[in-house]
Amino acid sequence: MIIWKSPFTAAKVFRVSTESQGVVETVHVPVMPDEVVHWMTEHAPRVMVDGTYGGGGHSSLLIKKLPPGEGFMIGLDRDPAVSERVDTESHDPRLTVFLGSYERIPKALEALEIPKADAILLDVGLSSDQLADANRGFSFTVDGPLDLRFDPEFGDPASDWLAWKKEDEIANAIYQYGEERCSRRIAKEIVTRRRKENPVKTVNDLVEICRRCVPPSKNHNIHPATRTFQALRIVVNDELGIMERTLKAAPEWLAPAGRLVVISFHSLEDRIVKNAFRDDERWNILTKKPLRPTDDEVRMNPRSRSAKMRVAELA
């Protein structure tokens, strides 16, 4: 049986029970699967880490590349709902999944008494499973609570964050993390509703504000709420902070010639990865330009269209 272990507190142990609730099927399609397998396994690794386990799609492909009956596949994910999608009846004993951010990779390695990893994957996009959950607020096409947290047990939901932040703080966050030019207009509307004792609490509340404040795009078929939701998700989950800290520390977690593969989905993330690889002499960059999904993949999986993959090897 796969044991979900918290690498933070020894007392918090999760056992997935197929008897009590069954296995929830994932609807997420792993992005750039062939490229991930190639760059993660080209150097014959024995210890691989999937820092964003999600539906387990990438991990299920990678574990097949380990020597028969040998090696370790380690998964981490912040979302407790992932535990419902682990099939305990047919799992590979080489797989262990931890509940926690990929920032905690060294704690997971320590728990398994493994000194270093040979390859680490970070697919930092939002999964289709999270978008499909109306109670999380990730999809602006389905109404529900405006939460946006990866782990609902920690931190404040986006609705609470909007309820107490100043107007300029809201505007700056939407502009900085969403690159939304209408950020000040959106922030003003949010605060105006709050003052009228009708605060933004649901997905539809915020979507309607964005529809009023963001003019139709001339060059791109993009929903008016896209950038604002992205910004709030980044804020409540500290996504960029975790990514920056992880990229800085990752060389310490890898064995000699170990690899780090990162898939990002918007310019802020990709810029952080690019600069981290370029500015740290410990990295040997293997992809001079970001790899992109093929046209065939984009046709089959439209959500892959904005993916960018960068790969670096420990020098």
What are 52's two structure tokens? 């964003």
> Tokens 């703080």 — which residue?
169
Is 123 annotated to bind ligand?
Answer: yes
Q: What is the pLDDT of residues 211-239, one digit of tens each?
A: 999 998 776 678 899 999 999 999 999 99
Contact present, 66 and 93 (Cβ < 8 Å): no
Is 56 annotated to bind ligand?
Answer: yes
Is 102 annotated to bind ligand?
Answer: yes
pLDDT of residue 81: 75
5: pLDDT strictly greater than 50:
no
- Considering the domain delimited by 3-129+240-314, tell me its CATH architecture: 3-Layer(aba) Sandwich (3.40)
Query: Domain 134-237, CATH 3.90.1150.10 — does that match?
Result: no
Could you tell me which of 197, 194, 221 has the C-alpha nearest to residue 209?
A: 194
Is 58 annotated to bind ligand?
Answer: yes
pLDDT of residue 150: 87
Is 130 annotated to bind ligand?
Answer: yes
What are the structural domain ranges in the chain? 3-129+240-314, 134-237
Stretch 189-204: mean pLDDT, rounded? 95
The answer for residues whose C-beta is within 8 angstroms of residue 12's C-beta and 6 or more apart is 5, 6, 99
Domains 3-129+240-314 and 134-237 share a fold: no
pTM exceeds 0.75 for this model = yes
